[in-house]
Amino acid sequence: MRVGLVGAVALIAVGASGGLIEKAKEAGLEPIPREIGELYKLIDNPDNPLTPGKIELGKKLYFDPRLSKSGLISCNTCHNLALGGDDNVPVATGHKWRPNPHHLNSPTVYNAVFNRSQFWDGRAKDLEEQATGPIQAPPEMAMEAEGAVKVVESIPEYREAFSREFPNEKITIETIGKAIGAFERTLVTPSRFDSFLQGDRGALTAEEQEGLKIFIEKGCASCHNGVGIGGGSMQKFPLFGKYKYESVGDFKGNREGLVKVPTLRNILETAPYFHNGATYDIGEAVAIMGETQLGQKLTPEEIEKIVKFLGTLTGEKPRIEYPILPVETATTPQPNLD
Amino acid sequence: MRVGLVGAVALIAVGASGGLIEKAKEAGLEPIPREIGELYKLIDNPDNPLTPGKIELGKKLYFDPRLSKSGLISCNTCHNLALGGDDNVPVATGHKWRPNPHHLNSPTVYNAVFNRSQFWDGRAKDLEEQATGPIQAPPEMAMEAEGAVKVVESIPEYREAFSREFPNEKITIETIGKAIGAFERTLVTPSRFDSFLQGDRGALTAEEQEGLKIFIEKGCASCHNGVGIGGGSMQKFPLFGKYKYESVGDFKGNREGLVKVPTLRNILETAPYFHNGATYDIGEAVAIMGETQLGQKLTPEEIEKIVKFLGTLTGEKPRIEYPILPVETATTPQPNLD
């Protein structure tokens, strides 16, 4: 009897969208684990194990503009958790209103833990390493590593949290990055698409499922896959022809000319698109990807359905209490707007 | 027996710090009401009655940088709820990194509801009116009123919230200000000093009580009084002699040369001090106030005790869940960094 029932369920699954779920899994699309233990196993870093205290400390630092030279810019300025984890502007803009010199767009921090590497050229191996970059970059937070350490060391509550969470380490820009990275690891956003992959066939409408089918069959999933639905590899861009907006900025990828494939999770919340933020139009972005990466012109109907599918990747954001930061002291470096 | 007991309690009260509580009340110092109904009666605006939906809408708008021309600056940028309700920099700095043309310092939004008027020159009658100013000011959020309205109207969730909360009003910069003002009215921070005024004599240490006594006897409370411990009047500044930092900026007060008395609540969290943010040193600020407003040189011991008392005004901040903002649409004006 049990065998018969399992057989019947399998039959229904394949007959309806079950086949599509299998197809999606075969294409390498993976859900964010629903079970907390499994999720934490996936997002944890053996070199920087997650603890509640470290995550809370990292959250404070993430929202703390005093880590910037001006005292006005925090991680959250460009990776705004209220706005899909990015900033809505084409080019990242920081200290003294300087744009990113390569006209690069701020990627979302949500689900960035699933990226195999960080930054558009993939130069940082993880979030902990990434977090140390923008703090110091002159057109971003423009703070010298030493200045960031001084800020943290001058505030007793921070100092105590660091000695609790990193008992055998001095406070350095690297430990600051480790705290921030720990917080960022928790910023994952499960969506309807995860429920679908986990077997809830009703989680996606018929049209969204058609979009997913096209997404797989056209080849989008050959790069946008894994738990991040992207983020797992570096690719040539453009692979075919010319990128319509290639004149915007001078970014040509890493040393091998490769560009990180971004996550598609929450993509409808993270316009403008591409490494150089060249268009706010998701339909145009999909069309361009079809041409430059798949060498084919997608029809308006196909694009529309793919966009419907992309909507299923808008996930539920973690609830975050806005932190009340510990007050600075007489030894805290003062902000410098110049 | 009952009469006898009341008499005994009264005797103890006068004998210990009871006298000081009375003295503080006579000096016009008032607590933030502990009872919610009484508090809401105090912070409400008959022309813009508080409702949960309006407060929530206002919170979203308060944190929404899309109300700025650049898409990068929100009310919370300069009035950061994580940092005592202000920004820690001497001079408010906004769109294109422009400083306030008069070198004015951002005042805290916490307890601003208790101010009789808003802005350093008192030109706005309430928070609702104030909120419309920085959105439009070129060195702040630099957004045209029309642009802010377009942003709100282009986002269905906002549009629906406005029609629910302001059913008989068109969406204008004024209704946007009303929503933001409603949220800001709730940003009150009761502290140990309120418990003291409400009769809990143990809420302040002996040293803090001495500081309070000096604060009253020297005359500080003649301007820094009311529920806001300031914010209730416009005064000549300096009243005696010359203000040490008068060359910083060109602000000379309102048309009558008067400057708004700021609240002292959370003062230890809102350095730098004065309308032109000229010093980070609270001790120096107290000394200057003694000289310029009271015409007397306070001793280092007096200053130290007054500062101890000021520490009792650091209040408990409301817990705020960081909002997830509704996503923009194809008709939302795009950010403009120029």
Domains, in order of start, for chain B: 19-34+190-311 (1.10.760.10), 39-185 (1.10.760.10)
Identify the DSSP state of A113: G
pLDDT of residue A77: 98
Q: Tell me what ipTM this predicted complex has.
A: 0.93
pLDDT of residue A292: 98
Q: Using the beta-carbon criterion (under 8 Å), do B71 and A89 form an inter-chain contact?
A: yes
A143 in Cβ contact with A197 (< 8 Å): no
Task: Tell me whether B87 touches chain A (CB under 8 Å).
Answer: yes
Residue of B nearest to A82 (CA): B324
Report chain A residues whose CB lies below 8 A from the CB of B88.
65-66, 71, 328, 335
Which has the minimum average pLDDT: A163-172, A191-200, A259-268, B5-14? B5-14
Strands A258-260 and B234-236: unpaired
Listed residue (A273, A73, A275, A266) closest to B325, CA to CA: A266
Helix A206-218 and helix A300-311, axial crossing angle in degrees, nearest 10: 110
Q: How far is CA B324 from CA A35, A72, A128, in A?
A: 24, 21, 25
Task: Tell me whether A89 touches chain B (CB under 8 Å).
Answer: yes
pLDDT of residue A45: 98
pLDDT of residue A139: 96
Task: Tell me whether B133 touches chain A (CB under 8 Å).
Answer: no
Task: Tell me whether B66 touches chain A (CB under 8 Å).
Answer: yes
Residue of B nearest to A267 (CA): B327
pLDDT of residue A18: 59
pLDDT of residue A8: 44
- Give the burial class of B241: count Cβ atoms within 10 A of its Cβ; 0-12 exposed, 13-18 middle, 19 or more buried: exposed
Number of Cβ pairs closer than 8 Å across A and B? 97
Would you write out chain B's pLDDT as a tens digit for each of its 338 residues?
344 444 444 444 444 555 999 999 999 999 999 999 999 999 999 999 999 999 999 999 999 999 999 999 999 999 999 999 999 999 999 999 999 999 999 999 999 999 999 999 999 999 999 999 999 999 999 999 999 999 999 999 999 999 999 999 999 999 999 999 999 999 999 999 999 999 999 999 999 999 999 999 999 999 999 999 999 999 999 999 999 999 999 999 999 999 999 999 999 999 999 999 999 999 999 999 999 999 999 999 999 999 999 999 999 999 999 999 999 999 999 999 99
Task: Tell me whether A337 touches chain B (CB under 8 Å).
Answer: yes
pLDDT of residue B18: 59
A171 in Cβ contact with A162 (< 8 Å): yes
The single residue of A140, A184, A269, A291 carrying the catalytic annotation is A140
Percent of chain A with pLDDT over 90: 95
Report chain B residues whose CB lies below 8 A from the CB of A280.
330, 334
What are phi and psi for residue B144, nearest 5 degrees?
Answer: -70, 145
| Residues of B taking part in catalysis | 140
Q: Using the beta-carbon criterion (under 8 Å), do B322 and A320 form an inter-chain contact?
A: yes
A260: enclosing H helix or E strand: strand A258-260
Task: Tell me whether B70 touches chain A (CB under 8 Å).
Answer: yes
For residue A321, give the nearest of B99, B272, B319 by CB distance: B319
Q: Using the beta-carbon criterion (under 8 Å), do A321 and B322 form an inter-chain contact?
A: yes
Distance from the first to the final alpha carbon of chain A? 76
pLDDT reading at A3 higher than 50: no
pTM: 0.94
pLDDT of residue A17: 56
What are phi and psi for residue B258, nearest 5 degrees?
Answer: -100, 150
Task: Tell me whether A153 touches chain B (CB under 8 Å).
Answer: no
pLDDT of residue B14: 42
Mean predicted confidence (pLDDT) in A256-262: 98
pLDDT band, very low/low/confident/very high, at A178 (cuts 50, 70, 90): very high
Min Cα separation B74/chain A (Å): 10
**Residues in CB range of B286: below 8 A, 6 or more apart:** B298, B303, B306, B307, B310
A128 is catalytic: no
pLDDT of residue B129: 98
Q: Using the beta-carbon criterion (under 8 Å), do A71 and B87 form an inter-chain contact?
A: yes
pLDDT of residue B17: 56
